[in-house]
Chains A and B, each alone.
Chain A
Amino acid sequence: MDVFHLLWLVPAFPLAGFLILALFGLRLHSRAIAWIGTGSIGLSAILTLWIGVHFLTQPPANYQYSLTLWTWFDINGFAPGIALYLDPLSLVYIFVITFVSFFIHLYSTAFMRSNEGYVRFFAYMNLFVFSMLVLVLANNLLLLYLGWEGVGLCSFLLIGFWYRDEVNGYAARKAFIVTRIGDTAFIIGLFLLVKQFHTLNIQDILQQAPVVWSAGATAVVWVTILLLGGAVGKSAQLPLQTWLPDAMAGPTPVSALIHAATMVTAGVYLIARTHVLYSLAPAVQLLVAIIGLLTLLIAGFSALAQHDLKRILAYSTISQIGYMFLALGVGAWTAAIFHFMIHAFFKALLFLAAGAVIMAMEEEHDIFKMGGLRKKMPVTFWTFLVGSGALAAIPLITAGFYSKDLILFDAFASTQGSFWLWLGGFVGAFITVLYTFRMVFVTFYGEQKKPITHNPEEEKAMMIPLVVLAVLSVIGGWIELPHAWAHFTPFSDFLTHVLPPTNLKPDMESQEFMLQLLTAVIVFAGIYLSWLAYVKKPALSASWKNTSLGRACHDFFYKGWMFDQLYDKLFVKPVVWISRIDPHDFIDYIYEGFGRLNVLIHAGFSRTQSGYVRWYLLCIAIGILFIFSLILFV
């Protein structure tokens, strides 16, 4: 039997899990809930592995497989189909989604145990995984959009999971509204595509696009900009990045799954999926690179000043996705996807480890109130260290090195790359090292400032995912070696069946070694510097912070380059101002008036339902007269 026919089961398992939990969850024992919630994802993961092995050994024709489940409906030729599409790109995505989700679910079984709403949590999480799988497996734009909105909804629900605290509700709304701005652009872009090509099928659109549109045509520029708007919103890139740090209000496994590993990379997926369009609009593609570059720098600096462990990681996520955008922007498609995968591993790991730390510290998020956890929480410490190493891209031994190095090299050497793009990424890499090891040293070294009451290291379900993800964060990089070393690039080779290879300028490979050496130097320099500032001489960082310039910089970065304040001034304040000088907004009158009008009409017609039979009869008689008059006078 052809295993690909079972592809539909991959999203079906989480959906089934969601349905069971939503319908019968209240009556289930918490152990059963954990089994259903985690087991459904586990089944998906195993199936994905099976399909993946099959895909590698006996690939389908052209490395693409389309499975039409059914045609939703077919009315006079308008027939949106429910169809899944598997190619190397979606395979990588579903592999990462199912496996990382599985481990995060496993972790959550212990992490969320003492929470009320245990069922609700797993139901939402399963729904999220289902939506995310639909998003990446969608064969047509309708289904893609369904998944896109589905993950947005789940993100909203899960950020506001602890809804009793008003702040969390606010964060959830902020995330929803800010991403909605992007989504609006996205849906308009989709409409333009459908209008142009009269089909919802993504592959058909991509095949016809180069025929219909010449490079740089106005239409394709608009479409790509609008799609980029959606991607920027979902992936928290400039200028819509402000929601992600606040989204950390959700439970930590949510941050790990949705706001680090999977959903926020949907934008990367979208651009990679529609790479044909971006190749037709080089100007927009350059814009992608610039957005990525600016985002990675801004977010990096912001991370440097944060005190909240989860916020550091949030800014770090924004910054790392910036790298992926940079890669997409210079045409290094495979490098972006490679970094997505590696990032999913180590960032999920970092979040989960951070969750364990925060649990041990009784919900303390401030790293400066932690300290000295190295001895008490050895597993957490070592896995966190591995994750940090990958994030900082320590050469040779961490996966992060291989993926980030590839991006930096391509930013330099690709035909669309340049020295300046490389330099930006290079500076970003240095900052990454600084904030990463600042986080490690402050949290785990020094004096212990708070006793541990309940050590999460006793929870096997929480520690196993950490170890597994740590292993992946090390060995994951070895499937793609730098050009300069050996021509061992199975990951890229696999992906080039769907994504075009990176075009390099001539004679660049010789310089790669040079660049790697530079990277290695700054990594170790950065580690040394943060060791100096936070372990050896803590006074150093304190004294620097006490200078007025230092404090100003710190505040500026701490507030995420004041973007929130800027938007507050630019958008919120004027609206508030207008509403203050004009409390009875005339636009309100229109909406309220519409509402009132309807209520009035309702009241009016409601009066006709007086219960008097003879009045009812009279209405019938009037109706007959009315019909006659229509016949006679028209």
Chain B
Amino acid sequence: MWHQHLLPALFPQIILAAASVLCLLLIAWKRNHAVVHLFTLLSLILALASLGKIYDATAVDGLFVIDGLGVFVEGVILIAVFFITIFSYPYFFQSQIEKEEYYVLLLLATLGATSMVISNHFVSFFLSLEILSVSLYTLIAYPKKMSASVEAGVKYLILAAVSSAVLVFGLGLIYVQTGQMSLAELGKLATGGIGANIWMIVGLGLVIAGLGFKLALVPFHLWTPDVYAGAPAPTSAFVATISKGSVFVFLWRLFSSVGTMSHAVQLIFVVIAIASMLIGNWLALLQQNLKRLLAYSSIANLGYLIVAFVASGETGLHAAMFFLVAYFICMLGAFGIISFLSEPAESGQQERLSLSSYTGLFWQKPGLAVLLALIMLSLAGIPLTAGFIGKFYVLLSGVYSTQWLLVIVLILSSVIGLFYYLRVVIQLFSRPETPVSYPASPYAVSTGLAFLVLFILLIWFGVAPGHLMDQISQMVHMIKG
């Protein structure tokens, strides 16, 4: 059945798909970095504008569901990609490779991510996941003359493809058992009770593993630091934020439609969350490479997010959404700063990775240093930053659902985390023996503006988070199981 009036609901996806094709044509017609960059920004704005007022529409032919949750995360993703696009320009500015296709891939990956958050069916989910993944392989290995990037690309390709296979195999088993691929139909079955068939459970387990890989949860996390470190910084930002946020939404949709979590499934997630929080923070403890440190930090942060997931319910979902936004801001800002301060990605040229190369950043670029310090404090969960509210919200959701073990581990691991976040902050403010030189970055105005916006958001959501919370609780409602 085709409902014409539902067409506007898919405008963002249509715009993104059309934009990527147009972008390719544009490149074929005339290769110009600035024009392509601006075109990408414009199409993102257009997609964002088309989100407007569609979140009361419901299902689109069983494949997609347009609800508040989906639209909210779509909006967050589009804004995040907007920032990443801005950061990409100075990063590739002086690069000798052909850089225009990067934006095409960025648009395609965004198409995959935005489709995934409104997916309501195995087919649409698989399709959007693969669009996202395949774009990511190339985004990661984009500076093809850099051995690190190519290595990261190959590693991610192998691991992600295997995990996709695991995931699809699991989905297939669920399909065999239920005869349904639509989450809505699965939800109807679940109320009647899905038998605890061994194949069904194996299927769910495989799906958890597959999604766990995409979310970089322990023990499926090992790829994270290698890929973050090898990929160009804007891509790392994409992997850290958007690909995880969109997969998380699908995870939530899947398990809330399969019904109240069975004891065993809940236990799996509890164990995974605890392991991710602790191991992520432990791994980061003495890490000297800023990108790897952020990777480990993201593992721990996804662990916190799973606490909200286990807590489930309305509070859990709202907490997760708030936490996700705070986490997005931090990761975008951190990788944005790395890409801004790095020499252009050329063969043989390393990015600015080691912590010691950030020593005394404050005395040369105080604005950037203050932002980076604030990001670290936010990740550490210091009050008056968005990260504090996010973590506190997650903590409260854990308390309300009486997940005491998770709550305790969350607090303990935060203490461990504090150590390495403060280590970075100290590094930024201490005076170096020999002043570190920073490249004179071109095109600093839009980037600087983007940093300023992130700075303001970080403080705003920390000091007066009410606006964001209202927005979330207005839009995002518990999906009917």
Using CB atoms and an 8 Å cutoff, list the residues of chain A in contact with chain B: 23, 26, 70-76, 78, 82, 598-599, 601-603, 605-606, 608-609, 611, 613, 615-617, 619-620, 622-624, 626-628, 630-631, 634
Q: A70-B464, A631-B264 are in contact. Are A617 and B162 (CB under 8 A)?
A: yes
The reply to whether A26 and B366 form a contact with Cβ atoms under 8 Å apart is yes
Judge whether B389 and A602 touch: CB under 8 Å. no
**CB-CB nearest 4 A-B residue pairs:** A623-B219, A602-B285, A616-B222, A627-B205
Closest to A70 in B: B464
Q: Given contacts A605-B282, A613-B155, A630-B271, is CB(A623)–CB(B212) below 8 Å?
A: yes
Q: Is the CB of B267 within 8 A of A634?
A: yes
Task: Tell me whether B268 and A73 are in contact (CB under 8 A).
Answer: no
Docked pose: A606 CA to B367 CA in angstroms: 33
Known: A23-B367, A73-B389. A631 touches B201 (CB 8 A): yes
The minimal Cβ–Cβ distance linking A601 to chain B, given in whole angstroms, is: 5
| Complex Cα gap A218–B229 (Å) | 60
A608 in contact with B370 (CB, 8 Å) = no
Please state if A599 and B208 are interface contacts (CB–CB under 8 Å).
no
Contact A617 B465 (CB under 8 A): no
Per a CB cutoff under 8 Å, which of A605, A627, A634 touches B279?
Answer: A605
Q: Which of A23, A72, A605, A616 contacts B159 (CB 8 A)?
A: A616
Nearest chain A residue, comparing its CB with the CB of B470:
A74
Residues of B within 8 A of A76 (CB): 315, 396, 400
Chain B contacts for A622, CB-based, 8 A: 219
What is the CB-to-nearest-CB distance from A531 to chain B, in angstroms, rounded to a whole number? 54
- Chain B: CB-nearest residue to A26: B366
- Give B218 Cβ to nearest chain A Cβ, in Å: 8
Decide yes or no whether B209 CB sits under 8 A from chain A: yes
Of B222, B285, B392, the most chain A CB neighbours within 10 A belong to B222
CA gap between A73 and B323 in the complex, in Å: 14
Tell whether, in the assembled complex, residue A75 and residue B283 are in contact, meaning their CB atoms are under 8 Å apart. Answer: no
Residue numbers of B with Cβ under 8 A of A are 154-155, 158-159, 162-163, 166, 201-202, 204-206, 208-209, 212-213, 219-220, 222-223, 225-226, 263-265, 267-268, 271, 279, 282-283, 285-286, 315, 366-367, 370, 389, 392-393, 396, 400, 416, 463-466, 469
Beta-carbon contact of A624 and B206 below 8 Å: yes
A599 to B286, CA, bound (A): 8
Q: Chain B residues with Cβ under 8 A from A615's Cβ?
A: 222
- Determine the residue in chain B with the shortest Cβ distance to A630: B268
**If the complex has contacts A628-B202, A634-B263, are A623 and B220 also in contact, measured as CB distance less than 8 A?**
yes
23 examples of A-B residue contacts, CB within 8 angstroms:
A23-B370, A70-B464, A70-B466, A72-B466, A73-B389, A73-B466, A74-B466, A75-B469, A78-B396, A598-B282, A599-B286, A601-B282, A602-B286, A605-B283, A613-B159, A617-B162, A620-B159, A623-B212, A623-B220, A630-B271, A631-B202, A631-B204, A631-B265
A381 CA to B188 CA, complexed, in Å: 90
Which residues of chain A are near B204, meaning CB under 8 Å? 631
CA–CA, A608 and B226, complex, Å: 12
Pair B213/A620 contact, Cβ less than 8 Å? yes
Give Cα distance in the complex from A634 to B279, angstroms.
24
Write the chain A residue with the least CB distance to B416.
Answer: A598
What distance in Å separates the Cβ of B214 from its nearest Cβ neighbour in chain A?
A: 12
Which residues of the partner chain A approach B155 to less than 8 Å between Cβ atoms?
Answer: 613, 616
Contact residues of A: prevailing secondary structure? helix
Which residue of chain A has the shortest Cβ distance to B278 in the bound complex? A601
Query: Quick one: which of B159, B223, B225, B396 contacts A75, CB cutoff 8 A?
Result: B396
Q: A75-B393, A76-B396, A602-B282 are in contact. Are A616 and B223 (CB under 8 A)?
A: yes
Residues in chain B near residue A603, CB distance under 8 A: 286
Q: In the complex, which residues of chain A have a beta carbon less than 8 angstroms from the beta carbon of B213?
A: 620
User: B209 touching A627 by the CB < 8 A rule?
Assistant: yes
**CB–CB A628/B205 < 8 A:** yes
Q: With the chains together, A26 CA to B204 CA distance in Å?
A: 58
Q: Which residues of A contact B285 (CB under 8 A)?
A: 598-599, 602
For B315, the chain A residues whose CB sits under 8 A away are: 75-76
By a CB distance below 8 angstroms, the chain B residues around A605 are 279, 282-283
Q: Could you tell me the distance between the alpha carbons of A72 and B468 in the complex, rounded to whole angstroms?
A: 12
Q: Is the CB–CB distance between A617 and B159 below 8 Å?
A: yes
- What's the minimum C-beta distance from A633 to chain B, rounded to whole angstroms? 9
**Contact between chains at A620 and B158 (CB < 8 Å):** no
In contact, A611 and B389 (Cβ under 8 angstroms): no
**A620 / chain B contacts, CB cutoff of 8 Å:** 159, 162-163, 166, 209, 213, 219-220
Q: How far does the Cβ of B194 sit from chain A's closest Cβ, in whole Å?
A: 14
Complex: chain A residue closest to B222, CB-CB: A616
Question: Which B residue sits closest to A600, measured CB to CB?
Answer: B282
**Which B residues lie within 8 Å of A26 (CB)?**
366
Hey, which chain A residues are within 8 Å of B220, CB to CB?
Answer: 619-620, 623
Q: How many Å from the CB of A251 to the closest CB on chain B? A: 22
A599 to B204, CA, bound (A): 36
Bound state CA distance, A110 and B163, in angstroms? 68
Question: Which of A82, A606, A634 has the most B CB atoms < 10 Å from its CB?
Answer: A606
Q: How distant is the Cα of A606 from the Cα of B226 in the complex, in angstroms?
A: 12
Interface centre among A23, A605, A628 (most CB of B within 10 A): A605
Residues of B within 8 A of A631 (CB): 201-202, 204-205, 264-265, 268
State A601–B283 Cα separation when bound (angstroms): 8
Hey, which chain A residues are within 8 Å of B222, CB to CB?
Answer: 608-609, 615-616, 619
> In the assembled complex, which residues on chain A have CB atoms less than 8 Å from the CB atom of B393?
73, 75
Shortest C-beta distance, B66 to chain A (Å), equals 28
Complex-state Cα separation, A237 to B154, whole angstroms: 68
B154 to chain A, nearest CB (A): 8
Cα A620 to Cα B218 with chains together (Å)? 9
A89 to chain B, nearest CB (A): 27
A601→B162 CA distance, assembly (Å)? 29
Contacts of B163 in A (CB 8 A): 620
* B286 A73 Cβ-Cβ under 8 A: no
In the bound complex, residues from chain A placing their C-beta under 8 Å from that of B265 are 631
CB atoms of B226 and A611 under 8 A apart: yes
Known pairs A605-B279, A631-B265; list 8 more (Cβ under 8 Å). Answer: A23-B366, A75-B393, A82-B463, A599-B285, A623-B219, A631-B201, A631-B202, A634-B264
A24's closest neighbor in chain B, by CB? Answer: B366
- Distance between B42 CB and nearest chain A CB, rounded to angstroms: 32
Q: How far is the CA of A624 from the CA of B163 in the complex (A)?
A: 11
Is A73 a contact partner of B469 (Cβ separation < 8 A)? Answer: yes
CB-based contact A606/B283 at 8 Å: yes
Q: Are B283 and A602 in contact (CB under 8 A)?
A: yes
Contacts of A634 in B (CB 8 A): 263-264, 267
A248 to B271, CA, bound (A): 55
Shortest distance between the CB of B342 and any CB in chain A (Å):
22
For the complex, give the distance between the alpha carbons of A613 and B230 in Å. Answer: 14
Contacts of A609 in B (CB 8 A): 222, 225-226, 283
Given A72-B464, A73-B389, A599-B286, verify A619-B219 contact (CB < 8 Å). Answer: yes
Query: For the complex, what is the distance from the CA of A608 to the CA of B279, rounded to whole Å?
Result: 11
Among residues of B, the one whose C-beta sits closest to the C-beta of A620 is B220
B158/A617 in contact, CB under 8 A:
yes
- Give which listed residue, B208, B209, B268, B465, contacts A72 with CB less than 8 A: B465
